[in-house]
Amino acid sequence: MTSLNITIKEDKNRSRRAIIELDADKFEKLAGVFGLFNPEFLKSLDRAEKDYKAGRIFKIKSLKDLE
């Protein structure tokens, strides 16, 4: 497997933020590794967009909020 170099920078204007830079080719490779082209994932995106438009969303501050 080939390596995938990405650049991660700290956002000095905001605490707890990072900026990740990668070109389109690297993004496609990364998306493929994470399965973002999988048909099931694409269907879940459609469902998420419908939920968002219907107002069935809420903001969380931590993954612990999902429990």
pLDDT in tens, 22-58: 888 888 888 888 888 899 999 999 999 999 999 998 8
* 51 located within any domain: yes
* 38 located within any domain: yes
* 1 located within any domain: no
* 23 located within any domain: yes
From the number of C-beta atoms within 10 Å of its C-beta (0-12, 13-18, 19+), residue 27 rates as middle
Structural domains in the chain (count):
1
pTM value is 0.48
Residue 31 domain boundaries: 7-66
- Confidence at residue 4, expressed as pLDDT on a 0 to 100 scale: 63
**C-beta separation of 35 from 41 below 8 A:** yes
* 21 located within any domain: yes
What percent of the chain is helix, strand and coil (3-state, nearest 5)?
45, 10, 45
**C-beta separation of 44 from 34 below 8 A:** no
* 2 located within any domain: no
- Confidence at residue 54, expressed as pLDDT on a 0 to 100 scale: 96
For residues 53 and 60, give the distance between their C-alpha atoms in angstroms, rounded to a whole number: 18
